[in-house]
Amino acid sequence: MAGHIPLQQTPTTIKVTTVSQEPKAIRWTLTFIALAFLALFLVLPLVTIFITAFQKGWETYVAAITHPDALSAIKLTLLVVLITVPLNAIFGVMAAWAITKFQFKGKNILITIIDLPFAISPVIAGLVFILLFGAQGLFGEWLFEHDLKIVFALPGIVLATIFVTLPFVARELIPLMQAQGTAEEEASLTLGASGFKTFLLVTLPNIKWGLLYGLILCNARAIGEFGAVSVVSGHIRGMTNTMPLHIEILYNEYQFSAAFAVASLMSVLAIITLIVKNLIEWKAKHT
């Protein structure tokens, strides 16, 4: 489903024999088109971010990323990620275990439900939590009476982020565990291992790369989620602004260099994500 990149893609050139080879001119033209398109759409924006970030010099850059508002946005983003990613990882493993190791009715419906957040606009993902916990929401009055704040506070941001990133780990593990089948678990059980030991010693090592891969994707999306968080955060500076929201505010206030400075930090994270992702793919292929 949307946003799902299956593990194990390798940029290897397949063997092409002379009969299944295009003329040189066509090969070069196609390669040029592909690279030009990627340069225009991917490389150029990335370069822009770093150049704009340093346009006003190193001092401005450092000032932008060490500004108290920026620091608190970084802290909040990290906090959200630290809560969201482990929760969705546990969920992903549980869901994949239930779906791939057992037969039950309604399995396909469950898979579709897990896919839903990928298909839904992030703005709606935020909206639903306003409808639940906002002042006029279903639990709004009750929360107000008990002096609890969900929307326009950390819990709301966490909920919206969980919603948006919910499918990543599960979606990565389901096909992987499906392909691995249940034979190794059965072997472990006949050898006298308990269910928990079987999971820990047999299943977990088998899915570790897939799990890590799902975690990386989940993590990247959790850090960068904008639409859903934008709806539920309330944009309170230094309080409920995550890094993407902080960038938006700076940008709208025409503090371009500062906005791009924070953006460059996030771009570095994105590049690290891509590198780690490729390392995992390589590892998964070579073990």
Partner 1 sequence: MNILPVRKRKRRNIIPGFGLSLGYTMLYVSILVLLPLSMVFINTTTMNWSEFIETITDERVVASYKLSFGTALAAGILNVIFGTIIAWVLVRYPFPGKRIVDGLVDLPFALPTAVAGIALTTLYAPQGWVGQFFDFKIAFTPLGIIIALTFIGLPFVVRTVQPVLQNFNGEVEEASASLGANRLQTFIKVILPELIPAILTGFSLAFARALGEYGSVVFIAGNMPMKTEITPLIIMTKLEQYDYAGATAIATVMLVVSFLLLFIINMIQWVTNRKFLHS
Partner 2 sequence: MSIQIQNVSKAFGSFQALDRINIDIQTGELVALLGPSGSGKTSLLRIIAGLEELDQGAILFDGKDITDVNPKERNVGFVFQHYALFRHMTVFDNVAYGLKVRPRKTRPSKADIQKKVTELLKLVKLENFADRYPSQLSGGQRQRVALARALAVEPKVLLLDEPFGALDAKVRKDLRRWLRKLHDDFHITSIFVTHDQEEALDVADRIVVMNNGKIEQIGSPEEVYDHPNSPFVYDFLGNVNLFKGRIQNGKLKHGSFEADIPELFSQNHEEAIGYVRPHDIQIEKTKISEDAVHTTISHIHIIGPIVQIELKRTDAEEFLEAEVTKEHYHSLQLKVGEQVYVRPKQLKVFIPEDFSI
Single out the segment in contact with partner 1 by CB under 8 A; choices: 57-65, 66-74, 181-189, 206-214.
181-189
Residue 26 CB, nearest approach to partner 2 (Å)? 40
- Site membership for partner 1, residue 163 (CB under 8 A): yes
Cβ neighbours of residue 184 closer than 8 Å, sequence gap 6 or more: 202, 203, 206
Q: Which of 16, 25, 179, 191 lies at the binding interface for partner 1 (CB under 8 A)?
A: 16
Site for partner 1 in 31-50 (CB under 8 A): 31, 33-35, 37-38, 40-46, 48-49
- Site membership for partner 2, residue 107 (CB under 8 A): no
Q: Which of 202, 217, 245, 258 lies at the binding interface for partner 2 (CB under 8 A)?
A: 202
Single out the segment in contact with partner 1 by CB under 8 A; choices: 67-75, 142-150, 207-215, 218-226.
218-226
Site for partner 1 in 95-154 (CB under 8 A): 95, 97-99, 101-102, 104, 110, 112-124, 127-132, 134, 136-138
- Site membership for partner 2, residue 189 (CB under 8 A): yes
- Site membership for partner 2, residue 65 (CB under 8 A): no
- Site membership for partner 1, residue 236 (CB under 8 A): no
Of residues 152 and 213, the one with the C-beta less far from partner 2: 213
- Site membership for partner 1, residue 224 (CB under 8 A): yes
Of residues 48 and 194, the one with the C-beta less far from partner 2: 194
- Site membership for partner 2, residue 131 (CB under 8 A): no
Q: 249: how many CB neighbours lie within 10 A of its CB?
A: 16
Residue 70 CB, nearest approach to partner 1 (Å)? 14
Give which of 268, 264, 228 is closest to 70, Cα–Cα: 264
3-state secondary structure the chain: CCCCCCCCCCCCCCCCCHHHCCCHHHHHHHHHHHHHHHHHHHHHHHHHHHHHHHCCHHHHHHHHHHCHHHHHHHHHHHHHHHHHHHHHHHHHHHHHHHHHHCCCCCHHHHHHHHHHHHHCCHHHHHHHHHHHHCCCCCCHHHHHHCCCCCCCCHHHHHHHHHHHHCHHHHHHHHHHHHHHCCHHHHHHHHCCCCHHHHHHHHHHHHHHHHHHHHHHHHHHHHHHCCHHHHHHHCCCCCCCCCHHHHHHHHHHCCCHHHHHHHHHHHHHHHHHHHHHHHHHHHHHHCC
User: Count of residues binding partner 1 (CB under 8 A)?
Assistant: 110
Q: 274: how many CB neighbours lie within 10 A of its CB?
A: 12
Of residues 66 and 182, the one with the C-beta less far from partner 2: 182
Give which of 117, 160, 174, 128 is closest to 3, Cα–Cα: 117
Residue 190 CB, nearest approach to partner 2 (Å)? 4
- Site membership for partner 1, residue 266 (CB under 8 A): yes
Q: Which of 81, 247, 258, 280 lies at the binding interface for partner 1 (CB under 8 A)?
A: 247
Q: Which residues bind partner 2 (CB under 8 A)?
A: 183-184, 186-194, 197, 201-202, 205-206, 287
